[in-house]
Chains A and B, each alone.
Chain A
Amino acid sequence: GAGVSQSPSNKVTEKGKDVELRCDPISGHTALYWYRQRLGQGLEFLIYFQGNSAPDKSGLPSDRFSAERTGESVSTLTIQRTQQEDSAVYLCASSLDGEGGTEAFFGQGTRLTVV
């Protein structure tokens, strides 16, 4: 597609349920990033995939969070046993090669609300 696509755009879930968020990066982009943006705040890094290298998971806030990426394609962010503090917009971005100076292109995000 023309840009980074995320689905669903909105998700309301009950506390304790698991959720899966999907990201389709721009075709040919080897680097993929997940960020979290709480209301009125900045971007919090979660995880970074670069080609076939081991992902950088240093930003995942707890073991309830995990992410996978299929080759250089789709990525899924999974949050288990959701809590109210998980409510945020989850942003996915991709870049051509992850090298310095290469811009990241962002999707529109998934707004997650845990009730």
Chain B
Amino acid sequence: GDSVTQMEGPVTLSEEAFLTINCTYTATGYPSLFWYVQYPGEGLQLLLKATKADDKGSNKGFEATYRKETTSFHLEKGSVQVSDSAVYFCALNDNYGQNFVFGPGTRLSVLP
């Protein structure tokens, strides 16, 4: 079945550092890919998405590019802030109306 793998956390960075959170997937078709974020004490919310190969999703300074050849959707941000501290989930949804499959999540802590 479909699956999503993320780098193990926690990730601890200093403010203004560069962030990469790796995500790779296994899917039978051509899924849509998502990054969700869960801030402390809050629910999951969509951060960005990409629906086809080579698409780049971006939001709040975060970017991720859908790489079909490497089945990856790595999350990047050039300069993190303390307010980016959260748990980040990579997810996929195939294009046949099935459920969302989530990765295990990566906890990010940004220190001032």
A-side interface residues toward B, CB under 8 Å?
A: 31, 33, 35, 41-43, 45, 48, 50, 56, 59, 91, 93, 97-109
Contacts and interface: CB of A to CB of B under 8 A. Distances in A.
Interface of B: 31-32, 34, 36, 42-46, 49, 51, 89, 93-105
Given A42-B105, A91-B43, A106-B44, A50 B49 contact: no
B100 A101 contact: no
Contacts of B97: 31, 50, 97-100
Contacts of B103: 42
B104 A42 contact: yes
A45 B101 contact: yes
Nearest to A3: B43
B31 A33 contact: no
Contact of A33 (B36, B42, B45, B100): B100
B79 to A, nearest CB: 26
B99 A45 contact: yes
20 contacts: A33-B99, A35-B102, A41-B104, A42-B89, A42-B102, A42-B103, A42-B105, A45-B101, A48-B98, A50-B97, A56-B99, A59-B99, A91-B43, A97-B97, A100-B93, A100-B96, A101-B32, A102-B93, A104-B100, A106-B44
A99 to B, nearest CB: 6
A43 B2 CA distance: 14
A100 B43 contact: no
Contacts of A45: 99-102
Given A45-B101, A107-B43, A108-B43, A100 B51 contact: yes
A75 B42 CA distance: 21
Nearest to B97: A98
Contacts of B102: 35, 42-43, 45
B101 A106 contact: no
B95 A101 contact: yes
Contact of A103 (B34, B42, B96, B105): B34
A43 B89 contact: yes
